[in-house]
Amino acid sequence: MTLLMNSFGKRAIVAMASLLFISCEKPNDELGFNQVIDGVPEVADLVFENIISYTHNQDSILVALAPESQSALGGYAGNRLLGSIADGIFGRAEASVVAQMALEENNIDFGDQPQIDSVFLYLQYNGYYGDSFKPMNYEVYQLSGGVFPNGVFLDNEGVVIDSAFYSDYVPSYLQKIGELSNHKPRPNSANNIGGDVLAAGLKIPLDSAFFRTNIIEAPTSAFDNDQAFIDYFKGVYIKTEGSDGSIVYLNLNTANSGIHLYYHDKGDTTNEAKRVGFNFLQSNSPEPINLSIFSQDYLAAPTAFNLLAQDTVLGEDVNYVQTMGGVYTVFEIPDLDSLSNKGYLINQAILEVYKASGTGSGLPPCDRLEIRKFESDKMQTPIKDFEAGNTVTGGGVLVSEPLRGGRYEFDITRYVFEVANGEKLSKLAITPYLKSSVANRVILAGGTNSQTPMRLKIYLTKP
């Protein structure tokens, strides 16, 4: 073995193409690549160490496309995140929800003398991240305007192909219409509501007076169809206030999630209890838009890193990676281009990145990471090993190791193959594979870590 010791304008949108499996990149020129990946004799190993790595922040990430494009991907489904965490390591991370709502049934008739018994917003859980024993404060506001994209989607040549929603979306909203204070989420406990047992969820009481004025007494035309109601009611903005503990995962695309209004008609001699509902279901027409928006605070909240003082020349001992539009790790492999035009056949190239030992807050790390290009001080599209639809997986799945806490293995054979065949050496970025549907983060051992530094192992065949 030979051992070599080496002394987002709306910009993030391109980088998210593979997340939504709509990448449009042209196929790689694979001349000779089949030879490269076949098993061959006389393999020489190269190990690149002292990789330069550091932590970098981003300003926003793609969270959804415009309605027509998103509809082709199954609508606005998937987890929606709500809550906030402050742990002294990653600062403070907050997730809120912006959502339109549709009718459970058209042409609602409340009768002659309707009287509200109760009204609440129910949000079905699909997991959580953080400490669910810490009490949280939840608030619900009515949106004051429509939900419109705040950015554009570009193809890999930089051409605008659609509008899109980013994580720094700023909603316009009116008065508070509901709140739930000092509440400890119970993501694993079912709820009994009106005699019905519902899957675990967050139940937020809403203002009966508001719903009398704005729903019971609404013009009948507001209930003609889903579009009419969306135009009339606009939607809701759900957030936390003055509390940090957990971020809950919500499944809005279920019949349980939505506004439930119970009432009776005093003009009805039976005095029977009745109910109407407004939901987020993607089977409605049009599909109601819903998305999570995120914010990160690395200044007012304590962190274990200083983004303003990252050593981009020699690298850092420990690096950080975070979902929800948070930080990611940038790295470069000095002298990798020494392989260029030597005629080597690259059989496999594995980048090993360990979790940093003795650090962290006990929260689950990211299950999988991926590698993207890093250019113009921004994270860009995935490298070819991680392109959507690529038959050669890039890996990046966490491998458990009890004594070391685990490691991520990235198969970057295609990237190294390109460098070996004359492509310019560039910086790369390690980022979560899932970016907006979970709240995980992880602390990584950097290239200068004394215990488990990053290293690239290359298996090749000499000419």
* Per-residue pLDDT reduced to its tens digit, 64-123: 999 999 999 889 999 999 999 998 899 999 999 999 999 999 999 998 899 999 999 999
CA-wise closest residue to 371 among 344, 353, 345? 353
CA distances from 448 to 70, 168, 314 (A): 42, 33, 8
Q: Is 138 helix (H, G, I), strand (E, B) or coil?
A: strand
CA distance 32 to 28: 12
pLDDT the model gives residue 389: 63
Which residues does 355 contact at the CB level (< 8 Å), separation at least 6? 365, 398, 404, 405, 406, 407, 442, 443, 444, 445
DSSP state of 213: I
Alpha carbons 141 and 327: distance in angstroms, whole number = 29
pLDDT of residue 218: 96
pLDDT tens for the 463 residues of the chain, in order:
233 323 333 333 333 343 343 333 333 334 344 444 444 434 448 999 989 999 999 989 999 999 999 999 889 999 999 999 998 899 999 999 999 999 999 999 998 899 999 999 999 999 999 999 999 999 999 999 999 999 988 776 778 888 999 999 999 999 999 999 999 999 999 988 877 888 999 999 999 999 999 999 999 999 999 999 999 999 999 999 998 999 999 999 999 999 999 999 887 777 788 999 999 999 999 999 999 999 999 998 889 999 999 999 999 999 999 999 999 999 999 999 999 988 999 999 999 999 997 655 678 999 999 999 999 999 998 999 998 766 557 899 999 877 667 999 999 999 999 999 999 999 999 999 999 999 999 999 999 999 999 999 999 988 8
Q: Is the pTM of this model over 0.85?
A: yes
HEC profile of 62-103: EEEECHHHHHHCCCCCCCEEEEEEECCCECEEEEEEEECCEE
376: nearest Cα among 109, 5, 11 = 11
State the greatest distance between any 2 C-alpha atoms of the chain, in Å, as a whole number.
Answer: 93
Three-class SS state of 232:
helix
142-152: b or e for each residue (b if 16 or more CB lie within 10 Å)? bbeeebebbbb
Average pLDDT, the chain: 87
What pLDDT is recorded for position 266? 83
Residue 390 pLDDT: 61
Q: Per the omega criterion (within 30 degrees of 0), is the bond before 463 cis?
A: no
Burial class (CB in 10 A: 0-12, 13-18, 19+), 287: buried
Q: Quick: pLDDT tens for 351-381.
A: 999 999 765 567 899 999 999 999 999 999 8
